[in-house]
Amino acid sequence: MEKTAEEIFQDKIDREIRIEPRDWMPEKYRQTLIRQISQHAHSEIIGMLPEGNWITRAPNLRRKAILLAKVQDEAGHGLYLYSAAETLGISRDEMYEQLHSGRAKYSSIFNYPTLSWADMGAIGWLVDGAAIMNQVPLCRTSYGPYARAMVRVCKEESFHQRQGFEILLTLSKGTQAQRDMAQDALNRWWWPSIMMFGPKDDESPNTVQSMRWKIKRFTNDELRQKFVDICAEQVKILGLTLPDPDLKWNEATGHYDFGVINWDEFWQVVSGNGPCNKQRLDARRKAWNEGAWVREAATAYAAKRAARQAEKRA
Amino acid sequence: MQASTNLISTTDFLLHLADNALIMGHRNSEWCGHGPVLEQDIAISNIALDCIGQARNFYQYAARLMGEGHTEDSLAYLRDERAFRNCLICELPNGDWAQTVLRLYFFSTYQYFLFQQLQHNSDAELAGIAAKSLKEVTYHLRWSSEWVIRLGDGTEESRQRILQALDALWPYTGELYTPVAYESVGEADMASIQTAWLDHVKAVLEEATLSMPDMGWMQQGGKTGIHTEHLGYILAEMQFLQRAYPGAEW
Amino acid sequence: MKQYINKYYYGDYGEAKNGAADITANGHHKHEWPLWEVFIRSKQGLDHKHVGSLHAADAQMAIENARDVYTRRMEGISIWVVESKYIHATNPDEAASLYDPANDKAYRHPTFYDLPDSLTHI
């Protein structure tokens, strides 16, 4: 019996053959990818803002250069991801419209404010650390352009987490005021970081389909546990503490137990009530609206020049 | 006596070059995350990074000559407004994209012709930094001149905006090529730099369908530490952590 | 009825709360700068390889954007750009007729030939 297009598609997925832009794919697969990739791209772009907040205040020239390079990398990552989404038939402008109108989501972590220099360390170590944990498996995701974008992102991302840890390490060896600054940053960023992995598995009923399509390769809870296990060890090097009294090694499971996540806060922030949601979106809209005349000018000039060149050839 | 005077001039000149690059880098870095389109956000951040890199090279060399525990960071973060020697044009606010790219164009053109001469300076270290920086500046010049042309010959709105930027920035261009005493260390022929700068600007403005403004009155003072009111705010922001936590390592 | 797959990822909280991103995907947007494909030669002696895409108003800007976006870590020494609309591609549905016939031509590969071990420099 002739296989259906859907069976051929699933067969490719099962045999770890990447799906490429012109291949047949179920409409829901395409929609799932567009949403996921564009939300990921939006997260990179919005994610530039909290750290960008400290570029002009970085405490020395080395840190200033590193931070600027890092935030610029995030722009690059957003660009790679928007490009990957564009192969699925949506334009970058449409994705921007979704972001600017508030219909599209982005990682809720970026709706928290950066209040001290130590936040640059905490974001690098925890937020980028959590992002990498999510992103590494995505390098093998079933959609080719997405997987290739993620390979590039992961390659560039590796310095981000290291520079963040280095900032915290330096602070932890510094004055009491600096150690307090570092601890305060961990206190504020730890819980939002572990929320980054998304809701618990039993509240994500459709994970099964994403796993079957190999868009997703690990569940939220698996990745979160892995992250907690790693951070609980690394924090010892800093001589600081993670703000969770229930965090302790469990011999039986071979993992760290940790406290209850405040999911109410998570959903409040996702749905627009975080401390900086409005500020972040306003900043993006402002940049986009104020850039409109620049983009139009370049288009107009390109057309004029092309016309002149055509005239010259004629 | 002669030797120490020379040393003072040399460090003054290095600080002037470093301050120029740092303040330009600082201003351009303010665009990061706020550019008109993603690709150009990345481009202007690259330029800002180049400028900060240039500043670090000049500061590091100055710090070595000055000794007494000076570092690139003590020079950037612990000098006050009156000690900064950057040209006024560097510290002016970014304004819109037109003002930003026109300022960068004016500044890069100056750096381009200056570094062409500095790369042959009798001080090998200074010459080396200039030669390295020249490669970066060549790209900044290309990138910014293309934007000036694009905006001048783009839409009616972009043309109006670049004309406004030209009005606002022009009085600050003369300082670039008008030397003060310590610039003799550069062993550069400033008159030829002025000529080359004016010729280049004239050609680019023409291609942008704009005409060269009259020379008019030129603002001066940055090179000798008499700044606009803008610099104080840049430094207040930039130096805040170093000032609030004296002696801390970061 | 719109029914999408919920999956929860980095940067993706699905549409369960507060609405979904509307995935209409009507393709081209009229004000957008055109899309360009970027090919980079990473070092002398190697082919240009496709690395990704970007937007630019014209070819000159596309080259510069490619330089700024794709060679920040010394990934390249030469750049090609081509506007994406000029790329012509094979249709994956025709893959069987286009590529499978090469399957049975083992004689095109050097290992097909059984020669004595004593034979060298061949």
Task: For residue A313, give Cα distances in angstroms to A11, A300, A308, C58.
Answer: 53, 20, 9, 18
Q: Do C65 and B43 touch (CB under 8 A)?
A: yes
CA torsion A199→A202→A207→A208, rounded to 10°?
170
- DSSP label at residue A143: B
Q: Do C52 and A209 touch (CB under 8 A)?
A: no
Q: What is the pLDDT of residues B29-42, one digit of tens each?
A: 999 999 999 999 99
Q: What is the pLDDT of residues B42-53, one digit of tens each?
A: 999 999 999 999
- DSSP label at residue A270: I
Least confident stretch, A304-313, C31-40, C107-116: C107-116
Summarize the confidence of residues B190-208 as an average pLDDT.
98
Q: Do C7 and A205 touch (CB under 8 A)?
A: no
Summarize the confidence of residues C90-96 as an average pLDDT.
79
Q: Pick the residue of B28, B37, B39, B145 with the most C CBs within 10 A to test the interface with C by mutation.
A: B39
Residue B163, burial from CB neighbour count under 10 angstroms (0-12, 13-18, 19+) = middle
Give the length of chain C: 122
Mean per-residue pLDDT over chain B, rounded:
96
Give the per-residue pLDDT at C15.
Answer: 38
Q: Which residues in chain B have their CB less than 8 angstroms from residue A117's CB?
A: 241, 250
C122 belongs to a structural domain = no
Least confident stretch, A68-77, B181-190, C70-79: C70-79
Residues 6+ apart with CB under 8 A from B69: none
Summarize the confidence of residues B203-212 as an average pLDDT.
97
Alpha-carbon distance C53 to C41, whole Å? 15
pLDDT exceeds cutoff 80 at A206? no
CATH number at residue C64: 3.10.20.520
pLDDT exceeds cutoff 70 at C11? no
Local confidence band at B226 (pLDDT 50, 70, 90 cut-offs): very high
pLDDT exceeds cutoff 50 at C6? no
Local confidence band at C9 (pLDDT 50, 70, 90 cut-offs): very low
Give the per-residue pLDDT at C106.
Answer: 81
Least confident stretch, A81-95, A111-125, A194-208, A225-239: A194-208
What one-letter code names the amino acid at A89?
G
Total of domains in chain C: 1
C28 belongs to a structural domain = no
CA torsion A6→A7→A12→A15, rounded to 10°?
150
Give the per-residue pLDDT at A93.
Answer: 96
Give the per-residue pLDDT at A208.
Answer: 78
pLDDT exceeds cutoff 90 at C107? no
Per-position DSSP letters for B34-68, written without gaps between them: T-SSHHHHHHHHHHHHHHHHHHHHHHHHHHHHH-T
pLDDT exceeds cutoff 90 at C27? no
Within chain A, where are the H helices?
5-14, 27-52, 61-86, 92-100, 118-122, 128-138, 144-172, 176-195, 207-212, 220-238, 263-268, 277-290, 292-313
Size of interface A-B (CB pairs under 8 A): 141
Give the per-residue pLDDT at C1.
Answer: 32
- DSSP label at residue A4: P
Give the per-residue pLDDT at C12.
Answer: 38
Alpha-carbon distance B104 to B81, whole Å? 22
| Structure token digits, residue A145 | 């352009």
Give the per-residue pLDDT at C14.
Answer: 40
Summarize the confidence of residues A119-136 as an average pLDDT.
95
What angle in degrees, to the nearest 10, is found between the helix axes of A61-86 and A27-52?
160
C24 belongs to a structural domain = no
Give the per-residue pLDDT at A314.
Answer: 82
Torsion region of A116: left, alpha or beta (phi above 0 gives left; psi -120 to 50 gives alpha): beta
Give the per-residue pLDDT at A38.
Answer: 96
Alpha-carbon distance B174 to B87, whole Å? 10
Local confidence band at A205 (pLDDT 50, 70, 90 cut-offs): low
Q: What is the pLDDT of residues B82-141, one digit of tens each?
A: 999 999 999 999 999 999 999 999 999 999 999 999 999 999 999 999 999 999 999 999
pLDDT exceeds cutoff 70 at B79? yes
Q: Do A71 and B33 touch (CB under 8 A)?
A: yes
User: Which of B179, B176, B109 has the alpha carbon at shortest distance from B138?
Assistant: B109
Phi, psi of C101, rounded to the nearest 5 degrees: -60, -20
Give the per-residue pLDDT at C108.
Answer: 83
C72 belongs to a structural domain = yes
Interface of C with B in 64-93 (CB under 8 A): 64-65, 68-69, 72
CA torsion C13→C14→C20→C22, rounded to 10°?
110
- Find the chain B residues whose C-beta atoms sit closer than 8 A to any C-beta of C: 37-40, 42-43, 46, 142-143, 146, 150
| Structure token digits, residue B6 | 């020379």
CA angle A143/A148/A151 to nearest 5° reads 125
Q: Do B37 and C68 touch (CB under 8 A)?
A: no
Least confident stretch, A271-275, B154-158, B229-233, C3-7: C3-7
C20 belongs to a structural domain = no
Summarize the confidence of residues A263-287 as an average pLDDT.
94
| Structure token digits, residue A82 | 């928007």
Q: pTM for the complete prediction?
A: 0.91
Q: Do C68 and B146 touch (CB under 8 A)?
A: no
User: pLDDT > 90: what percent of chain A?
Assistant: 88
Contact at 8 Å (CB) between A204 and A198?
A: yes
| Structure token digits, residue C82 | 């081509």
Give the per-residue pLDDT at C42.
Answer: 93
CA atoms within 13 A on the CB side of B79: 22
Q: Which of B33, B77, B155 sits opposite A49 (nearest CB)?
A: B33
- Domain B2-244 is of which CATH architecture? Up-down Bundle (1.20)
What is the helix (H) or strand (E) element at residue A51, kind and residue range?
Answer: helix A27-52
Q: Which of A57, A61, A173 sits opposite B56 (nearest CB)?
A: A61
CA atoms within 13 A on the CB side of A80: 25
Give the per-residue pLDDT at A11.
Answer: 93
Mean per-residue pLDDT over chain A, rounded:
94
pLDDT exceeds cutoff 50 at B80? yes
Interface of C with A in 102-121 (CB under 8 A): none
Local confidence band at A99 (pLDDT 50, 70, 90 cut-offs): very high
Give the per-residue pLDDT at C29.
Answer: 54
Alpha-carbon distance C55 to C36, whole Å? 6
Domain range for C54 is 35-108
Q: How far is A215 from chain C (nearest CA, A)?
A: 9
Nearest residue of chain B to residue C56 (CA atoms)? B39
pLDDT exceeds cutoff 70 at A195? yes
